[in-house]
Amino acid sequence: MSAGNTNAMDGPMIECAGLTRRFGKFTAVDDVTFSVGRGEIFGFLGPNGSGKSTVIRMLCALLEPSGGTARVGGFDVAREPERMKPLIGYMSQKFSLYDELTARENLSFYGRLYGFHGAALRRRFDELVALTHLAPYLDRRAALLSGGWRQRLAMACALVHEPAVLFLDEPTAGIDPVARRELWGLLFDFAARGMTLFVTTHYMDEAERCSKVGYIHLSRLIVSGLPDDLKRLPEVNPAGTRRIEVACDHATAGLRVLRGLPGVRSATAFGQSMNLLVDATVTDGAVRASLGAAGIGMVDVRPTGPTLEDVFVALTDRANGGGR
C-alpha cells in the first residue's frame, strides 16, 4: 500500500498542539497535544463524551478548531485542508453508508468519487473486496448487512484511495470477537506497509496492541505515549508499592477479603484472578494467610506489572484530584 504524497518526509504524520474545540460555552476538546509517527497505530481512549470523535473530526478538517493547530501528513488542517484530504481515509463512528445501495454500489461510488474509472476502478475494487472478504455480500443492500459487514464495507470505502493516514472512530464497537481480531490483523498489515492509523476504542485489549496510546478524559488529554513507557510512570507505580496477581478458587469472595486487608490500595478482579496494588510491606504470605482464614483455597500469588487500564485509572484519579 503506497502512502500518498505527504509533506512530512520524516516528521510526524499527525501532530497537534494545544488543539481546542468549543461548542458554545462547552469545551469539548481542551488543549490537546500529541503526535503520531509514520506507520504507528495510535490508540485513542476515553470515556463516552470525552471528545474522541471531536478530535478526529478536527484532524479530518470536518470541524474547525477553536484554538491550537493540527497537522496531518505535514499539512495544516485548518489552512490546507484540500491538500491534506487526499492523504486521509476516515471511517466514522456510524459506519455511514448508503443504505439503499448494495455493497458493490457503495464501494464503486467511493471509487468514482476518488477518481477511479473503468479498468482501474475494477482492479481497485477487486483488491479491496479480497482484502475485506466482502465477496459473498456484494449484492446485498447496505441496510441489510450485519454490523461486522457494515464495518468492513465502510472500511473498504475509506481505503479506496490508499490513504497514508487512516482514522477509524470506534471501528470495533458492536463487533464480535472474531471480526475484531481479523480487523486488528488488517490494521497491523497496514501499519507494516507504512500506513499511519488513528483508532479510537473503548477496549483495553485493543489499546494494548497499539504502538502508542492516548487517554482523554473530560476533554483533556491526560497522557499519551508508548504503552510500556506509560506503565513505568511513577504515578502508576507509587514508591513503596508493588503489583501482584492473585489466583484462587473463589475470586469474588477473595476480592472482598483482600480489599479489607490493610496495605491493599486497590484490587480488581479478572475472571478467576485479581490484580492488586499493595504496599511493599504486604507480603505474599500475608495475602495467602488472610485468604486461607476466609476458607479460600488454591491460592497462587505472583508479581505482575500494571495494565494500561491501571495506568488510565491511576492517571484519571490524579487528574480528578488525588487517589481514593
Partner 1 sequence: MSVFRGFRAILYKEFLVVLRDPFTLFLMLFPPVLEMVAFGYALETDVRRMRTALLDEDRTVESRRIVERFVNTDTFRIVERVGSAEELAAAVRKGRVYVGIDIPPGFARDLEAGRTARLQVLVDGSNSSVAGSALNTAVALALRESMERLASAAGVRELPFEVRPQILFNPAMRSPNFFVPGVIGVVLQIATTFATAMSLVRERERGTLEQLFVSPLRRWGLLLGKLVPYLLISGVMAFALFAIMSGLFDVPIAGSPWVLALATLLYLFALLVLGLLISTRAQNQMQALQFSMVFVMPSVFFSGFIFPRDTMPVVFRAIGACLPTTYFIETARGVVLRGATLADVAPHLGVLAGMGGILFVLCALRFRWKLG
Ligand X SMILES: Nc1ncnc2c1ncn2[C@@H]1O[C@H](COP(=O)(O)OP(=O)(O)OP(=O)(O)O)[C@@H](O)[C@H]1O
CB atoms within 10 A of CB 320: 11
Among positions 43, 46, 68, 254, the unique one binding ligand X when judged by CB under 6 A: 46
49 binds, among Mg ion, ligand X, partner 1, none (CB under 5 to 8 A by kind): ligand X
61 belongs to the binding site for partner 1 (CB under 8 A) = yes
When asked if residue 51 is in the footprint of ligand X (CB under 6 A), the reply is yes
109 binds, among Mg ion, ligand X, partner 1, none (CB under 5 to 8 A by kind): partner 1
What does DSSP say about strands 241-247 and 26-36: parallel, antiparallel, or unpaired? Answer: unpaired
Q: Which is nearer to partner 1, 92 or 266 (CB)?
A: 92
Q: Which of 14, 42, 50, 166 binds ligand X (CB under 6 A)?
A: 50
Distance CA 271, CA 50 (A): 28
Q: How far is Cα 239 from Cα 197, in angstroms, rounded to an integer?
A: 35
Q: Where are the alpha helices (DSSP H) in 247-307?
A: 251-259, 284-293
Residue 125 CB, shortest distance to partner 1, in Å, is: 14
Q: Which does 157 bind (CB under 5 to 8 A by kind): ligand X, Mg ion, partner 1, none?
A: partner 1
Decide: is 54 part of the binding site for ligand X (CB under 6 A): yes
Q: Does 88 bind partner 1 (CB under 8 A)?
A: yes
Cα distance from N-terminal residue to C-terminal residue, the chain: 48
Based on the shown chain and the rule CB under 8 A, indicate whether residue 86 belongs to the binding site for partner 1.
yes
From ligand X, partner 1, Mg ion, none, which one binds at residue 50 (CB under 5 to 8 Å depending on kind)? ligand X
Q: Which does 270 bind (CB under 5 to 8 A by kind): Mg ion, ligand X, partner 1, none?
A: none
Does residue 289 interact with partner 1 by CB under 8 A? no
Contact 88, 164 (CB under 8 A): yes
Which one-letter amino acid corresponds to residue 324? R
C-alpha to C-alpha distance for 258 and 287, rounded to whole angstroms? 7
Dist. CA 246–CA 292, nearest whole Å: 13
Q: Which stretch binds ligand X (CB under 6 A): 49-57, 74-82, 136-144, 281-289?
A: 49-57
Phi-psi region of 2 (alpha: psi -120 to 50; beta: other; left: phi over 0): beta
Which lies closer to partner 1 via its Cβ, residue 86 or residue 263?
Answer: 86
Q: In the window 76-95, what residues touch ligand X (CB under 6 A)?
A: 93
HEC secondary structure over 117-171: CHHHHHHHHHHHHHHHCCHHHCCCEHHHCCHHHHHHHHHHHHHCCCCCEEEEECC
For Cα atoms 84, 101, 81, give the angle at the middle one, nearest 5 degrees.
10
Q: For residue 26, what is the DSSP state? A: E
Q: Which is nearer to Mg ion, 20 or 92 (CB)?
A: 92
Residue 94 binding partner per list ligand X, partner 1, Mg ion, none, with a CB distance cut-off of 5 to 8 Å that depends on partner kind = partner 1
- Tell me which of ligand X, partner 1, Mg ion, none is bound by residue 114, counting a contact when its beta carbon lies within the kind-specific cut-off of 5 to 8 angstroms: partner 1
157 binds partner 1 (CB under 8 A): yes
Which residues are at the interface with partner 1 (CB under 8 A)? 23, 57, 60-64, 82, 85-86, 88-90, 92-94, 96-101, 105, 109-110, 112-115, 157
